[in-house]
Amino acid sequence: MATNKKILIVEDEGIVSLEIRETLENLGYIVVGEARSGLEAIEMAKDKTPDLVLMDIVLQGDMDGIEAAERIYTLYNIPVIYLTSHSDEATLKRALKTNAFGYLIKPFNDRELYSNIEMTLHKHRIMKNVEPAEIIDSTLTLVSDAVISTDTRGNITRINPSAESLTGWSRGDALGFDIFTIFELDREKIIGLMDSVRMDNFEKRNLLSWVDGLLLKKKNGDIISLSLNIGFVRGNKINPDEFFFVLIPDSLDDNCTPETLERYYRIVLDAIGDPVFLSDSDMKIVLYNQAFSDLCGVLGVDLTNLNNPVYEILPQDIFGGRWDYEEIFKTKTAYKKERSYKTDKNTRYLTIETIPLSDGDSITHVAVVSNDVTWEKEMDERDEKIARNFKAHSKNAEEIADLCALLKQPLSRIRRIAEKKTSPENRAIINEVSEMSDILFNIDMKWLRYEQIKNYFDVRGGSVPEESEEKEITIPD
């Protein structure tokens, strides 16, 4: 059963955690850490990069194992197997609604543990290596529009059957080639629009950019005039950043109607990992992706009837009310707000980014993008707490250093007085003063070390010097 796979154990009972560690090591696994709380588990998952996490559902602290597992999988794409001594249906249902790969009810034997770990690792390998690309490929295969995707350098990563038919280039021949070179497209005319859909400045963002008046050279040498609709999808730990190009030949005479735009937006929405929906000028939801559907499931929102305005379907305290949507269409101004909602266990924080979408003349749709920033917010709050505590400790340390400095002058005077007359009593006083001076010297050395660490945290750069790197400093009597 030899294996090099790394396992992280999350268990708040020390004896149980030790037993699991011994079992795993006997099975040939490498245990990279043992966490006692959900927060510690998330930090260890980031630092130790295990291949799999064994997660007890009931943990110390405010965060239980289910929430910790969900964050670990979302942030770092690490599979989780739940460990629980509770076999009640409600707990297991709640656990398996997350991205868990299975569960084991304690106590379990070596064979059960080994088989569950190996099955989970195998399942995760398949999902990690195959699923994301296949989902996007299947979406592009189904659309009737000609679509080509590229990486950020312009190298072709996908070309759907409609694009193959339009350009004459097959998938096998086109993949990896530069889109500008293979089709002799006007790079200067297109590259600026690619930058505009990629930029992080939300006030100037757009889901799609439109450019017309282009010429494309087919594989057989024929030249066709067309327009391009360019979209950008930011990547994650599995998928890289990608551009999507919708090729629209002038011969199609495809007017830029709201329905046509929605067809193009659908291509981009299906590839975006964050929850996104589109509202038209009637303020009705016309498009949304799977991630948004999942979010609505958590919020208890019913998406079966979309004939009502968006502000009657979605919670207004999160996604805005009627006035908010009217204002966007009127002012054509994007906005970004932070919102929150409560779950059974905690409060989740979202940024709601609203982007007006134009056909070139007027605003036709509004895109609303949600991003869960709970983890970032909690880390910011933790950093602030650490900074406050560090500042308080710094003040105490500085006061101690000041008191030590005040002792040096009286000790020096005592030494000088004792040295004026030789006697057993004075020699004893001198020895005591020397011991006190040595203590103060050691305190000074610790203070210098503290100052180095403090400066490191103040500037957030460099590395903390090791003890061996400190220079010896002598203080005269």
DSSP notation for 48-94: H--SEEEEESS-BSSS-HHHHHHHHHHHH---EEEEES---HHHHHH
If one compares 205 and 333, the residue with the highest pLDDT of the two is 333
Kindly tell me if the per-residue pLDDT of 462 is higher than 50: no
Q: Long-range contacts for 393-400 (Cβ within 8 Å, ≥24 apart)?
A: 394/454, 397/447, 397/450, 400/443
Going from N- to C-terminal start, the domains of the chain cover 6-129, 131-266, 274-372, 384-469
Closest CA to 355 of 343, 341, 340, 371: 371
pLDDT, greater one: 75 or 320: 320
Higher pLDDT, 129 or 297: 297
Residue 390, sorted as left (phi over 0), alpha (psi -120 to 50) or beta, turns out to be alpha
Considering only CA atoms, give the Rg of the chain.
32
Q: Are 65 and 58 in contact (CB under 8 A)?
A: yes
The vertex-451 CA angle with 447 and 452, nearest 5°, equals 120
pLDDT score recorded for residue 392: 80
Q: Per the confidence metrics, is the pTM higher than 0.75?
A: no
Over the stretch 149-200, which tens digit does the pLDDT of each residue have?
999 999 999 998 889 999 999 989 999 999 999 999 999 889 888 887 776 5
pLDDT of residue 134: 60
Q: Which band of pLDDT confidence, cut at 50, 70 and 90, is reported for residue 140?
A: confident
User: Is pLDDT at 463 greater than 70 in this prediction?
Assistant: no
pLDDT at residue 461, rounded to an integer:
45
Query: Is residue 207 predicted with pLDDT exceeding 90?
Result: no
Confidence of residue 202 (pLDDT cuts 50, 70, 90): very low
Say what the pLDDT of residue 383 is: 78
Instruction: Assess contact for 335 and 354: CB atoms under 8 A.
Output: yes
Please state the rounded mean pLDDT for residues 107-133: 72
Which of these ranges, 149-163, 201-215, 437-451, has the smallest mean pLDDT?
201-215
* Res. 251: pLDDT tops 50: yes
Mean pLDDT over 287-295 rounds to: 85
pLDDT given at position 112: 80
- C-alpha–C-alpha distance, residues 95 and 291, integer Å: 19
Give the model's pLDDT for residue 130.
47
Domain 131-266: CATH superfamily, name plus number: PAS domain (3.30.450.20)
Say yes or no: do domains 131-266 and 274-372 share a fold.
yes
**pLDDT at res. 159:** 92
pLDDT at 474: 38
CATH code of 6-129, in short, is: 3.40.50.2300
Residue 100 has what pLDDT? 62
Choose the weakest-confidence range: 124-138, 210-224, 256-270, 416-430. 124-138
- Among 2-16, 172-186, 321-335, 375-389, name the one with the lowest average pLDDT: 375-389
Query: In the predicted model, is pLDDT for residue 87 greater than 60?
Result: no
Arithmetic mean of pLDDT, 396-424: 82
Of residues 218 and 196, the one with the higher pLDDT is 218
Confidence of residue 318 (pLDDT cuts 50, 70, 90): very high
Per-residue confidence at 89, pLDDT binned at 50, 70, 90? low
The SS3 of residue 132 is helix
Looking at the domain that runs over 274-372, which CATH code has it been given?
3.30.450.20
B/e letters for 216-253, b = 16+ CB within 10 Å, e = fewer, are beeeeeeebebbbbbbbbeeeeeeeebbbbbbbeeeee
pLDDT for position 222: 94
Instruction: Give 345-403 pLDDT, tens digit per residue.
Output: 678 899 998 888 876 677 888 889 998 888 888 888 887 887 788 778 778 877 887 88
426: region left, alpha or beta (phi > 0 left; psi from -120 to 50 alpha): alpha
